[in-house]
A and B are shown apart, each in its own frame.
Chain A
Amino acid sequence: MPEKKFLTGNSAVAYAVKLAKVGVIAVYPITPQTPIAEKLANLVSTGEVRAEYLRVESEHSALAACLGSAMAGMRSFTATSSHGLAYMHEMLTYAAGGRFPLVLAIANRSIGPPWSIWGEQQDSIQQRDTGCIQLYVETAQEALDTTIQAFKIAEDPRVLTPVMVCLDGFHLSHAEEGVEIPDAGDVERFLPPFRTSATLDPDNPMTLAVGASGEQYTLWRSEQQTAIREAGSIISDVDEEFGQVFGRKYGGLVDAYRCDDADLIIAIMGSFAGVARDTVDSLRQKGVKAGMLRVRAFRPFPNQVIRQHLANARHLVVIDRDLSYGNEGALCSEIRGALYGQGNVPPIVNFIAGLGGADLLADEIESVAQEAIQMTRPEERKTVFQFLENK
């Protein structure tokens, strides 16, 4: 039977790992991910989770150990944040390039200096090109549900690519909310037993992660690209199937709110979508036809779905809790890319906000939205920093 509990985002992830019957957990502590590692240690101690629990000496080793256990045939999990994720970078490329179906939870956090332990999405955004799938969630419930979905996506034979489930540090990782923990039997039926092709099996000996010539290497990379592109429809299908079994679904690649007739659309990722939703309602009351587009899948990037939702928008605000220095927020660039060549591309205000754990208020989003409404020239662009007067 499903059970309702008051859980943080981190605990919700830990319960998902339990339900997914993960065999090997390898972790290294870092704020704000640490409670996932602690909760799992606790669940292993009590016998609620039957897994090998590896305390490694770094995040690099945490993911490396997961590669090892996956090659030994076990479903494996790790979690990290911030500098830990940066330290893991080499292994992310290895896990993706080696086509290892692993799941990682990322409790999103800023990267210093200046030092900050607080939330931001820069850490996972700067891992964009490692080849991992990236899913961003809004609530603790979605963190739990998406972690279960992530195993199914990663292990799909058409995908075989690691999935990062990204939840905002503190706002989501540490805040409690009512979460329904699905029935274990239902999860078992939803999620088939672990399978992978990259195994160290004496009865079927293979050399894994071999060197390749330019031609072979390129072919391999193109297969990786096909797989992660294909993952797009699989992410949608898995979310749909999840909805049928558990009664909750999240829109697949994007979660669109009042977008259908919207003139102004606010695009965002992660937990601040709740504030954006309130802003939309408030703007609607004032007669502005506003909508919100929460991007769940950042990799693969859902270009087509985003084009459809933005087809009739006349103004666009893209909120980024990250920054690609020397250009603009990463989500903004991605959306701009998706719209290229569409004709009548709306002016875009890129709102760089929520950095270093800063709260984001509906009033702030609304004032940026008002700026966007003033802009009418197609392709016009502006980057606005929270807390700064922008001229």
Chain B
Amino acid sequence: MKIKDIPREEHISNSLSCAGCSELLAVRLALKVLGKRTVAIVPAGCMSTVNCYWPQIPFKTPMFVSPFAATGAILQGVSAGFHYRGVTDVNVLAIAGDGGTADIGMASFSQAIISGRKFIYMCVDNEAYMNTGGQWSSTTPPGALTTTSTLADVAEPSLSNHKDLLAIAIAHRIPYAATASPSYPLDYLEKVRKAAATNGPSFLHVLTPCPPGWGFPSEKTIEIGRLAVESGMWPLCEYQDGQLRITHVPRQTRPVAEYFQSQRRFRKLRPEGIAQLQKIVDARQEALEKMVSPRD
């Protein structure tokens, strides 16, 4: 796919999302690839609660504001209903946040995957409950302050209170799963395309930098997303046919310190903490490289 191949048709407009919102960008781009025959299940989160107060309706495609914990179950039901009716030309898409997936939605997310039904589950991850002001979720990165963090949380950062959603999806032997970032639109949209082509459940874990929540200027969204990848905080990978591979290797790598210094949410992180996190990220990168398929 090339940039010029991205369809021009818009399926979302008049959004109330914040300036520089990469979640909106991610959804907008994904809908361009998926097209108008896409139905979206959207639990509580920025895409629903910020955007869908009558008469404010940004989605031009069918959309259901789902109960917070129920996304995976609703997906199963919609997918089963279409299957029963023999409807095969409609994409069934979830757009859930990190809290809606990794925390309250985990049980139905897990069961939806093993149901084997055909759907795309997209987790747009801004790493906290952002539409309610930024409370901690289990994908909040170590070292980041949220409104429900304590200083003890950032004093000795570790991955012990952090969930790896890609690994969780892979543990379910999901047919297709990937991490992605709208800062790398071609890599991202190729993954959206592959998810849609999967005959079964697929999972896209999309990092969506949040200017007000993370504390960076709204014009820096794309840069912050790139910095996340270049610093090893957000490796771009893909899992298909039982094989994990890295889909994008940054031309240059950057120290995690640069990433942390770019956002106010890491302001309480001390040099020892940063050094500790650099070790964690390096070790994770090394482990990831060992896991990927030898043919890559």
Chain A residues close to B by CB (< 8 Å): 23-24, 26, 51-52, 54-58, 60-62, 64-74, 76, 90-91, 94, 199-202, 204-213, 216
Q: Complex formed: what's the CA distance from A115 to B82 in Å?
A: 40
List, in ascending order, chain B residues with CB within 8 A of A68's CB.
Answer: 41, 73-81
List 16 other contacts, CB 8 Å, given A202-B62, A210-B53: A23-B81, A24-B80, A54-B115, A56-B108, A57-B107, A60-B69, A60-B108, A68-B77, A72-B77, A72-B78, A72-B79, A74-B84, A208-B65, A209-B66, A211-B65, A212-B54
Q: Complex formed: what's the CA distance from A364 to B37 in Å?
A: 63
Q: 7 smallest A-B Cβ distances: which pairs?
A: A68-B77, A72-B81, A61-B73, A64-B70, A65-B77, A64-B73, A211-B53
CB closest residue in chain B, given A206:
B62
Residue contacts A-B, CB under 8 angstroms, 25 given:
A24-B77, A51-B84, A52-B83, A61-B72, A64-B74, A66-B77, A69-B78, A69-B84, A71-B78, A72-B77, A73-B81, A91-B67, A199-B62, A200-B62, A206-B63, A207-B57, A207-B65, A208-B64, A209-B65, A210-B65, A211-B48, A211-B65, A212-B54, A213-B54, A216-B54
Known: A61-B111, A72-B80. A207 touches B52 (CB 8 A): yes
CB closest residue in chain A, given B68:
A90
**Residue of B38, B49, B53, B82 with highest tally of chain A CB at under 10 A:** B82
Inter-subunit contact A57/B111 (CB<8 Å)? yes
Known: A56-B73, A61-B72. A210 touches B54 (CB 8 A): yes
Q: Complex formed: what's the CA distance from A71 to B60 in Å?
A: 17
CB closest residue in chain A, given B70:
A64
List, in ascending order, chain B residues with CB within 8 A of A201's CB.
Answer: 62
B90 at the interface (CB under 8 A from A): yes
Give the Cβ gap from B234 to chain A, nearest Cβ, in Å: 29
List, in ascending order, chain B residues with CB within 8 A of A23's CB.
Answer: 81, 84-85
List, in ascending order, chain B residues with CB within 8 A of A199's CB.
Answer: 62
Q: Complex formed: what's the CA distance from A388 to B30 in Å?
A: 66
**Residue of A58, A60, A62, A207 with highest tally of chain B CB at under 10 A:** A207
**Residue of A24, A26, A72, A212 with highest tally of chain B CB at under 10 A:** A72
B206 at the interface (CB under 8 A from A): no
List, in ascending order, chain A residues with CB within 8 A of B59's CB.
Answer: 205, 207
Q: Complex formed: what's the CA distance from A57 to B112 in Å?
A: 9
Inter-subunit contact B66/A56 (CB<8 Å)? no
Known: A54-B76, A76-B77, A211-B49. A71 touches B64 (CB 8 A): yes
Q: How many pairs of A and B residues are in contact by the CB < 8 Å rule?
A: 157
Contact for A202 among B37, B52, B69, CB less than 8 A: B37
B167 at the interface (CB under 8 A from A): no
* Contact residues of B between 81 and 124, Cβ < 8 Å to A: 81-85, 87, 90, 107-108, 110-111, 115
Give the Cβ gap from B212 to chain A, nearest Cβ, in Å: 20
Known: A57-B108, A202-B36. A210 touches B77 (CB 8 A): no
Contact for B52 among A56, A65, A204, A211, CB less than 8 A: A211
Q: Complex formed: what's the CA distance from A272 to B70 in Å?
A: 36
Q: Complex formed: what's the CA distance from A116 to B58 in Å?
A: 49
List, in ascending order, chain A residues with CB within 8 A of B75's CB.
Answer: 68
B177 at the interface (CB under 8 A from A): no
Contact for A64 among B77, B85, B110, CB less than 8 A: B77
List, in ascending order, chain A residues with CB within 8 A of B74's CB.
Answer: 64-65, 67-68, 71
Q: Complex formed: what's the CA distance from A56 to B83 in Å?
A: 17
Q: Complex formed: what's the CA distance from A212 to B65 in Å?
A: 12
Inter-subunit contact B62/A205 (CB<8 Å)? yes
Give the Cβ gap from B119 to chain A, nearest Cβ, in Å: 10
Inter-subunit contact A205/B61 (CB<8 Å)? yes
Inter-subunit contact A72/B85 (CB<8 Å)? yes
List, in ascending order, chain A residues with CB within 8 A of B80's CB.
Answer: 24, 52, 54, 65, 68-69, 72, 74
List, in ascending order, chain A residues with CB within 8 A of B39's CB.
Answer: 71, 200, 202
Q: Complex formed: what's the CA distance from A73 to B86 in Å?
A: 11
Inter-subunit contact A58/B107 (CB<8 Å)? yes
Q: Complex formed: what's the CA distance from A91 to B67 in Å?
A: 8
Inter-subunit contact A72/B67 (CB<8 Å)? no
Q: Complex formed: what's the CA distance from A72 to B74 in Å?
A: 10
Known: A57-B110, A61-B111, A91-B70. A209 touches B81 (CB 8 A): no
Q: Complex formed: what's the CA distance from A90 to B108 in Å?
A: 15
Q: Complex formed: what's the CA distance from A22 to B183 in Å?
A: 45
Q: Complex formed: what's the CA distance from A68 to B87 in Å?
A: 14
Inter-subunit contact B60/A205 (CB<8 Å)? yes
Give the Cβ gap from A41 to chain B, nearest Cβ, in Å: 15
List, in ascending order, chain A residues with CB within 8 A of B36's CB.
Answer: 202, 205
Q: Complex formed: what's the CA distance from A211 to B77 in Å?
A: 23
Inter-subunit contact B108/A61 (CB<8 Å)? yes
List, in ascending order, chain B residues with CB within 8 A of A209's CB.
Answer: 64-66
CB closest residue in chain B, given A201:
B62
Q: Complex formed: what's the CA distance from A76 to B77 in Å?
A: 9
**Residue of B64, B66, B87, B107 with highest tally of chain A CB at under 10 A:** B64
Give the Cβ gap from A307 to chain B, nearest Cβ, in Å: 38
Q: Complex formed: what's the CA distance from A304 to B82 in Å?
A: 43
Q: Complex formed: what's the CA distance from A23 to B77 in Å?
A: 11
Inter-subunit contact A211/B110 (CB<8 Å)? no
Q: Complex formed: what's the CA distance from A24 to B37 in Å?
A: 22
Give the Cβ gap from B9 to chain A, nearest Cβ, in Å: 13
**Residue of B37, B63, B77 with highest tally of chain A CB at under 10 A:** B77
List, in ascending order, chain A residues with CB within 8 A of B66's CB.
Answer: 64, 209
Known: A57-B108, A60-B69. A72 touches B64 (CB 8 A): no
List, in ascending order, chain B residues with CB within 8 A of A211's CB.
Answer: 48-49, 52-54, 65
Give the Cβ gap from B215 to chain A, nearest Cβ, in Å: 27
Inter-subunit contact A74/B107 (CB<8 Å)? no
List, in ascending order, chain A residues with CB within 8 A of B57's CB.
Answer: 207, 210
Q: Complex formed: what's the CA distance from A375 to B192 in Å?
A: 74
Inter-subunit contact B77/A67 (CB<8 Å)? yes
Known: A68-B41, A200-B39, A202-B37. A56 touches B65 (CB 8 A): no
Inter-subunit contact B70/A208 (CB<8 Å)? no
Known: A71-B78, A210-B53, A213-B53. A65 touches B73 (CB 8 A): yes
